[in-house]
Structure 1
Amino acid sequence: MPTHFRCEIEDGIATLRLDRPDRKNPLTFDSYAELRDWFRQRPYDDSVKAVVFGSNGGNFCSGGDVHDIIGPLTKMSMKELLAFTRMTGDLVKAMINCGVPVIAAADGVCVGAGAIIAMASDLRIATPATKTAFLFTRVGLAGCDMGACAMLPRIIGQGRAAELLYTGRSMSADEGERWGFWNRVVAPEDLETAAQEMAARLVAGPTFGHMMTKTMLNQEWSMSLDMAIEAEAHAQALCMQTEDFTRAYNAFVAKEKPVFEGN
């Protein structure tokens, strides 16, 4: 089990939380690396079928810790800095390639790398109190961090993404929902339940099909339409060979609800 963040696994759902609520859950070098390694292991572990990245103490994540990360970065060599920025980017790659849906359940502060983690999730739920900001220009850096310039425009559009990435301003939960960043905004007391219910619905579905959906959603970014249609033909043909496809057919004939087993 991880030591630099909380992880609870029950009924196929892994619930992760950063565990420094007194500091609004900042990331450290260790938690970055451990999260990356944890997500990298998911394709080899059938026990986890969905991930909820939750909040803790009323906040999601305040980004990189000012004292534990930002300060040391100002003293590093270029080689060391590049190793760090590649490592943070590897967390996003690991989330994208983990093979299971990831749901961000964000309350309160969701900024910097925290906003990136939410962005890299497949589905996102917020509360009215959620404030999301890509703060990189506010600390003298570029907005192009951890894939933000590639992913954020695809979620909310080029102009809106450009505004957030240039200014570093906070996006309210209402804005985020209207712009398509948040799938849903719920009351703070309902956030945990909403995320767990969404995850449970995914776990009860055809999890091999979900893995293929996630794969195609991400791989088709760099494909032409013809390539994407052909890739989906192969993906769907593979899914048609699964037992879940047969189970769904038999259940339909019997006028019953299918019970999927992920194979």
Structure 2
Amino acid sequence: MATAQGVPTPEHFLLEMKGDVAVITLNRPEKKNPLTFESYAELRDFFRDLDRQDVIKAVVVTGAGGNFCSGGDVFEIIKPLLERDMKGLMEFTRMTGDLVKYMNGCPVPVISAVDGICAGAGAMIALYSDIRFGTPNAKTAFLFTRVGLAGCDMGACAMLPRVIGQGRAADLLFTGKSMSADEGLAWGFYNQVVDPETLLDEAVAYAQRLADGPNFAHMMTKTMLNQEWSMTLAQAIEAEAQAQAICMQTQDYHRAFHAFANKERPAFEGN
């Protein structure tokens, strides 16, 4: 298995390089790929450190064995949390929030390839991906109220309404019911729904197309997509004017012009 130079080999999930794309596979198929304290922390650290390397230019997250992720492991996370005091509980909830925060803030596109069960924290990983591929078998559920918790976990109440709308988000977060693949596609949760047999290949091919593009410009696009929610329209227009002026100073912008002038395909290098 090829791993990225300078990126530690993980112990609690699989990491494989396919070209410039890092493929993360949650790999506990016998239990539908639940997360543990250790895998949460390792995923958090992986996304946190993406801005310290220049090998990985896109990330695909998927699950082994026909499922994406069933959320936090009942006996390895939920049961031990019953014995923690408030400080210990806050350490855990802040760690889970840091995972999606670093996914959201990392400089490369993140694509989720979702088949089968996508629940709880697994649904949050999919939600905080920039692009989501699903299959007809995908069942996505935000199960927090099913275990006596609020639906406002890991930024769900902030991000889910932005993706599928306030009313639909409220319905899923209050009830914990599953969103089907057809609903997810119609509501904008999934960008594409494809056959399970081609899911990973199509997600990786999409990620590689992005990785082959102007990486600095993609970073700027992701930054603006995230930051402009808290801006007025006038602020957003000004921020984009500044962002675009910065991009116009990159070599990729010059490469694109010269390639167009010579009727060639630009070869972007991310600088």
Question: Quick check: TM above 0.5?
Answer: yes
TM-score, reference length from structure 2: 0.96
Report the 3-state secondary structure (helix = DSSP H, G, I; strand = E; otherwise coil) of the residue aligned with 1:137: helix
1:5 and 1:235 mapped to 2: Cα distance? 35
Deviation, structure 1 residue 74: 1.1
Q: Which residue of 2 aligns with 1:230?
A: 238
Query: Which sits farther off after the overlay, 2-11 or 18-27?
Result: 2-11
Query: Which sits farther off after the overlay, 144-153 or 214-223?
Result: 214-223
Deviation, structure 1 residue 55: 2.0
| Count of residues in Structure 1 that have an aligned counterpart in Structure 2 | 263
Q: Please point out which of 49, 52, 64 is paired with 1:56.
A: 64
The sequence identity of aligned pairs, in percent, is 66
Q: Which residue of 1 aligns with 2:121?
A: 113
Structure 1 stretches of 4+ with a deviation exceeding 3 A read: none
Report the 3-state secondary structure (helix = DSSP H, G, I; strand = E; otherwise coil) of the residue aligned with 1:16: strand
Amino acid at match of 1:255: K
Equivalent runs, 1:51-90 vs 2, <5 Å: 51-90=59-98
Pair 1:182 & 2:190 matched: yes
Amino acid at match of 1:96: N
Pair 1:38 & 2:46 matched: yes
- Checking the alignment, whether the CA contact within 8 Å between 2:27 and 2:63 is kept in structure 1 is no
Amino acid at match of 1:152: L
Deviation, structure 1 residue 256: 1.1
RMSD in angstroms over aligned alpha carbons? 0.6
Deviation, structure 1 residue 212: 0.5
Amino acid at match of 1:142: A
Q: Which residue of 2 aligns with 1:194?
A: 202
* Cα displacement string for residues 59-109 of structure 1 (whole angstroms, at most 9, x for unaligned residues): 100000000000011111011101110000000111011100000000000
Q: Which residue of 1 aligns with 2:4?
A: none
Q: Which residue of 2 aligns with 1:21?
A: 29
Q: Please point out which of 218, 226, 230 is paired with 1:218.
A: 226
* Cα displacement string for residues 37-57 of structure 1 (whole angstroms, at most 9, x for unaligned residues): 010110111000000001211
TM-score, reference length from structure 1: 0.99
Q: Which residue of 2 aligns with 1:206?
A: 214
Report the 3-state secondary structure (helix = DSSP H, G, I; strand = E; otherwise coil) of the residue aligned with 2:118: strand
Tell me, which stretches of 5 or more residues in structure 1 are unaligned? Answer: none
Pair 1:249 & 2:257 matched: yes
Q: Which residue of 2 aligns with 1:147?
A: 155
Q: Which residue of 2 aligns with 1:6?
A: 14
Deviation, structure 1 residue 10: 3.0
Q: Which residue of 2 aligns with 1:240?
A: 248
Q: Please point out which of 245, 250, 270 is paired with 1:262.
A: 270
Q: Which residue of 1 aligns with 2:165?
A: 157
